[in-house]
Amino acid sequence: MADQENAGAGDRREVSRWEWVAAAVSAALVLFVLGYLLFDATARPQTPPAVEVSADSVAHVGGVWRVEFVARNRGHGTAAGVVVEGELKEGDRTVETSETTLDYVPGKSKRHGGLFFRRDPGPYRLELRAFGYQRP
């Protein structure tokens, strides 16, 4: 029985200096990330979503015209169910309309999407806009 008690005591080894350095660096990184997250959550302005939409490219695909766009949320708040509408206009007259919904556009981020038109957008004025959103 005494042999079993002494066997455990001899298994202890000294912790190397590099293990202490790795532990210290890891702890510092964890504290830095936690500090940053707390700062970001409390110090940044809580501005509502501000979604801007711009055309990225136009391509003829499978008998329709696809307009790819970028929706940028310049606000800090997340926008859910963002309705993006595109219109082909000739003067004041709307020739064709297309719309889609983006599930989420987080604050200070961008999302890509596309709209389909039957007509070639080239001869018309293309207007894109975020038509609405919900707060998640």
Q: Please state the pTM of the whole predicted model.
A: 0.71
Q: Buried b vs exposed e over 93-127: b needs ≥16 C-beta within 10 Å?
A: eebbebeeebeebebeeebebbbebeeebeebebe
pLDDT at position 6 is 54
Superfamily for domain range 51-134:
Immunoglobulins (2.60.40.10)
> CB of 113 within 8 A of CB of 55?
no
pLDDT digits (tens, 9 = 90+) for 57-66: 999 999 999 9
pLDDT digits (tens, 9 = 90+) for 93-125: 999 999 999 999 999 999 999 999 999 999 999
Collapsed DSSP state (helix, strand, coil) of residue 30: helix
pLDDT digits (tens, 9 = 90+) for 66-97: 999 999 999 989 999 999 999 999 999 999 99
Show me where the domains of the chain are located. Answer: 2-43, 51-134
